[in-house]
Structure 1
Amino acid sequence: MRVTQADIDLAARLADAAGAAIRPYFRAPHGVETKADGSPVTLADRAAEAAMRRLLDAEAPGDGVVGEEYGEKPGVTGRRWVLDPIDGTHSFTAGRAIFGTLIALLVDDWPLLGVIDQAIQHERWIGVVGRGTTLGGVPTRTRACAALPGSILATSSPHYFAETDGPRFLSLVAATASGRMGPLYGGDCYNYGLLASGHLDLVCESGLKLHDFAALVPVVEGAGGRMCDWRGDPLTADSTGDVLAIGDPARVDDVLEAMGTIV
């Protein structure tokens, strides 16, 4: 089953709806709360996901929906829309415009369409399997990386790594470090958009959930990069959440070797 232009147009309207719900709360009272898992949620998160679900109920009622805030609605078509209304809620609550809305369309559990939307800066990456990634409607590409030393590595936070994952990440830090330049911290999904546009070389995360990474795969790979888990396997709905984004696919084995996870 292919992604159609109608699917792409619907994804864009979903991002529009989410952005319209988010903007009134940015740098304004947003009712932040702490969920049972310790992560923050705001009125903007809930309003944005609710707006997207209303649109999907009207325009794609047979498709499944998976959202961070309101769980899963089963479908009957073999297609699932995966929604993260605000990826980077902590940044949102701090008034930092480096969060994003993530929208993915999975067909038979494979992510075929992805959107990263930054509603404050009006930046939107759209990636579709078999097509190139665009930023604001203009084609965008990852950049070449001749070697790991001196490459730019990013991650959302070192605190997100489990005790057993931290040493592997630090091994990658050591392999990429050059002089006093270390990794960049913060950014969540925005890092993957920057990588897709050739500003970063690597992003390394662990413990991500489906709504955190599904949309990123078509965006990065449509721009010429590679998304995989820490063993180099493709990311699907069954992946465990250990995620690598590599702008230059020629560096995949180097990254896995540096982390000690190559098989």
Structure 2
Amino acid sequence: MDRDLEQGRGRTGTVISAETASDIMQTAHLLADAARGETLRLFRSPELRPDNKAAQGFDPVTEADRASERAMRAILARRRPQDAILGEEYGATPGSSGLTWVLDPIDGTRAFMAGAPSWGVLIGVAGDSGPVYGIVDQPHLGERFEGGFGIARLTGREAQTPLACRTGVDLAQATLMTTYPEVGTADELAAFTRVARQVRLTRYGLDCYAYALLAAGHVDLVIEAGLQSYDVMAPIAVVQAAGGVVTDWKGGAAHGGGQIVAAASPALHAQALELLAGS
């Protein structure tokens, strides 16, 4: 258990006892297990029928998204009814504990629709000023990335290994990822391109899985824009637990969403911020 938790206070300032932390982690794994069942039931299935929830453009949602979030909410109602919930599909439910479960039942629904195993289930727990714990789960691959309360680990089907961001990598040798080539607005795309021109490799399209790969030491930077809190709360917890740095593009708190830069090291983070600012 990390020193912050032993002193009864999480990194965000929310008081969390060791007993509460243990219950949070046990509950989070139950949520992830339930979401696996619901999502895998329809992944690569001919019965998948996506709906479009956008008034303009295409913002897909499937019954797998909805069923996954319903299953997780049902567990929270039984085990931790005092906690608040913020979910992508069913919105906000108030609580009294000072803790909020932030759920994205399928992050990467477009990948899910295409049969690509780069989507994930995001389970974040937030205190009064940001994430204290998170899981990024990839059900099809059987990979669960976990961070918080002194833990940073990847649990696979056959083994459990520690998570640690890659260090000692300069910008010129870095691997950069984002979900869409057309990042945000024209100005945001221009800022992203300034960074992309300086790295060794830029890749696209992995949604939350890019943050998981950063925490595992395979990717050095993830830069995105236009995100929601439920897109980033769990990935931030995992990346930070693995030694990485996550902020907005100005170096501020990132858990509210918007513009996100996640870096494997403080030095790389500083280089990326400078380029994003136009320097």
TM band (smaller chain): over 0.9
Alignment correspondent of 1:34: 52
Residue 86 of structure 1 deviates from its aligned partner by 0.4
Question: Once superposed, what is the RMSD of the aligned Cα atoms?
Answer: 1.4
Residue 127 of structure 1 deviates from its aligned partner by 0.4
TM-score computed with the length of structure 2 as normaliser? 0.88
Cα distance in structure 2, aligned partners of 1:58 and 1:160: 40
Q: In 2 relative to 1, CA 87–240 (structure 1 residues): closer, same or farther, beyond 3 Å?
A: closer
Cα distance in structure 1, aligned partners of 2:183 and 2:62: 20
Alignment correspondent of 1:232: 251
Residue 146 of structure 1 deviates from its aligned partner by 3.1
Alignment correspondent of 2:28: 11
Report how many residues are paired.
255
Alignment correspondent of 1:78: 98
The runs of 5 or more residues in structure 2 that have no matched partner are: 1-14
Alignment correspondent of 1:204: 223
Task: Tell me whether 1:54 sits opposite 2:71 in the alignment.
Answer: no
Alignment correspondent of 2:42: 25
Q: After alignment, is 9-18 or 31-40 more displaced?
A: 31-40
Contact 2:106/2:119 (<8 A) preserved: yes
Residue 241 of structure 1 deviates from its aligned partner by 1.2
4+ long deviations beyond 2 Å? none
Match of 1:146 among 165, 169, 183: 169
Contact 2:250/2:277 (<8 A) preserved: no
1:213-256 residue CA offsets vs partner (Å, 9 max, x unmatched): 001111001101111110111323xx351001101222121111
TM-score computed with the length of structure 1 as normaliser? 0.93
Task: Tell me whether 1:113 sits opposite 2:128 in the alignment.
Answer: no
Aligned-partner residue type, residue 34 of structure 1: N
Give the secondary structure class of the aligned counterpart of 1:224: coil
1:88-128 residue CA offsets vs partner (Å, 9 max, x unmatched): 00000000001000000111141101100000111001100
Contact 1:203/1:244 (<8 A) preserved: yes
Aligned-residue sequence identity (percent) comes to: 38
